[in-house]
Copies of this chain bind each other. A is one copy, B any other.
């Protein structure tokens, strides 16, 4: 359907999505104005609307593009690997994502906190399926005694929350720790690694 994009289209849609991610992630959907996005992208408001039919369309484009990347780390959880190491690796990858893609994390957080009006389908569908799938893997590990007995779903929730916290509550974390740049992420990695290693190693 979509003909290949022109040079200018590629440049401008990219600029728009980047600018929109900046603003949406910091102000939420309703808190963001088209003028803010336009200014951040270096375009006029009518020109924005030449590339995207509406404010909502920009937001949707971001969320849709995000979902897949966001779940990639969980997909990589390998049922053939060493259970404790697989989970620790997942935690650390998720923490890296919080550090390297905080805007994406906050965009997602904003959406969920406010009831996920625009992506509830994605959550009820693909996300839920993937989580249940991996919960089954974890249950398998537990039943063979290679992992301490924990509820798989709540384990996953705890990993999401502890790692994303560093992106979503960044302001609070920085207000308390006053870190140099991203230095505190290394400490967080150490802490979480120890936490889950101790809690999940069986015996």
Contacts and interface: CB of A to CB of B under 8 A. Distances in A.
A26 B192 CA distance: 30
Contacts of A160: 165, 169
A155 interface: yes
A10 interface: no
Contacts of A109: 109, 113, 168
The prevalent SS among residues of A at the interface is helix
Interface string A41-77: 0000000000000000000000000000000000000
Interface of A: 26-31, 106, 109-110, 112-116, 120, 123-124, 127-128, 131-132, 148, 150-151, 153-155, 157-158, 160-162, 164-166, 168-169, 171-173, 175-177, 187-188, 190-192, 194-196, 198-199
